[in-house]
Amino acid sequence: MPIKFINVSHIYSPKTPMRFDALKNINLDLDEKKFTALVGKTGSGKSTLINHINGLLHPTEGKVLAFDYVNSSNKKERTKNVKDLRKRIGLVFQFPEYQLFEETVEKDVAFGPRNFGIPQEEAIKQAHEALLQIGLDESFFTRSPFDLSGGEKRKVAIAGILAIHPDVLILDEPTAGLDPKAAEDTMELFKEINKSGVGIIFVTHDMNLVLEYAEEVVVMDEGEVAKQCSPEELFGEDLSKYSLQNPDIYRFALMMKEKGIDLKLDGLNDVNSLAKAIKESKK
Ligand SMILES: Nc1ncnc2c1ncn2[C@@H]1O[C@H](COP(=O)(O)OP(=O)(O)O)[C@@H](O)[C@H]1O
Ligand SMILES: [Mg+2]
């Protein structure tokens, strides 16, 4: 378990009237190889949590272990070189396209590797690989990032992190604001990246994506981890206490149950399994 939260609390603006307890005594193990979804209502502490994994925020109490890096509330315990950690754990912020700034796409993507000491020529090569991987062909390399569509800009920003070759990729609401097709394409890409051995941790409000892609889901609620389980274990119950909605398939099945059709919800994960459950209910 290379990512471990031990009794982690985070307080914003402590000792002021604005004090806010954003994380409350979190104990959490995240598998560095898995495809993990992080869900919970707005303000539940998701972004605060992930910002602790790559050392952007320090715990007020407790510590986070990520590979061999220690991010502790105690300064003396903290690993000095945060750069090594940020090379292994790539974090893509929400709306990363706002951070594009170079005059060409390839230079923007190469910025990451350059920052980690890779010489210009090699960094551009890595940038090209990352762009091709994310589905932007050569015709994009020398364009200005500012002339691209929203979805394309998002891809350039994600390529900027991929070019660093992280072991774990953390994405804060990567599909927010994308149309459904672009969201699916983006998730398919992450699935491919995950298959190649890179762990994915993604924040989302879309439970359909959680059901389709995540192996594990962590539910945050008011600064605490309310649940950590497989999507199938989470869905099918009333999730309104977490301000979450079930995926469409579960909502449909639950409505049919209300109408008196006795459907088994166990293992429901796509249209095929729903069709099977409907057939079996008729027997
Ligand atoms: N820099 C900050 N200063 C003070 N409060 C903050 C800051 N950042 C976030 N918060 C508060 O902490 C809580 C958790 O925020 P956040 O981790 O961004 O939640 P989420 O990502 O789940 O929406 C929210 O109530 C938010 O208002
Ligand atoms: Mg957030």
Q: Which residues keep their CB under 5 angstroms from ion ligand 2?
A: 46-47
Residues 174-225: tens digit of each pLDDT:
999 888 888 998 999 999 999 999 999 999 999 999 999 999 999 999 999 9
Q: Pick the range with the lowest mean pLDDT from 6-20, 132-146, 269-283.
A: 269-283
Is the pLDDT at 85 greater than 80? The verdict is yes
Indicate which ligand has the atom closest to the C-alpha of 10. 1
Cα gap 276→283, rounded to integer Å: 11
Burial string for 113-131 (b: 16+ CB within 10 Å, else e) reads: bbeeebeeeebbbbbbebb
Q: Residue 45 — very low, low, confident or very high, per pLDDT cuts 50/70/90? A: very high
Q: What is the mean pLDDT of the chain?
A: 94
Distance (Å) from CA 256 to ligand 2 centroid: 34
What pTM, to 2 d.p., does this model score?
A: 0.94
Indicate which ligand has the atom closest to the C-alpha of 172. 2
Across the range 77-84, mean pLDDT stands at 93
The end-to-end CA distance of the chain, in Å, is 45
> What is the model's pLDDT at position 19?
96
Name which residue sits closest to atom 6 of ligand 1, judged by CA. Answer: 12
Asked if 232 contacts 266 with a C-beta cutoff of 8 angstroms, the reply is yes
Cα gap 280→166, rounded to integer Å: 45
> What is the model's pLDDT at position 267?
83
Cα gap 140→185, rounded to integer Å: 18
Residues with CB under 6 A from ligand 1: 12-13, 20, 22, 40, 42-48
Residues 129-175: tens digit of each pLDDT:
999 999 999 999 999 999 999 889 999 999 999 999 999 999 999 99
- List 21's β-bridge partners, or say none: 11
> What is the model's pLDDT at position 150?
87
- List 89's β-bridge partners, or say none: 168
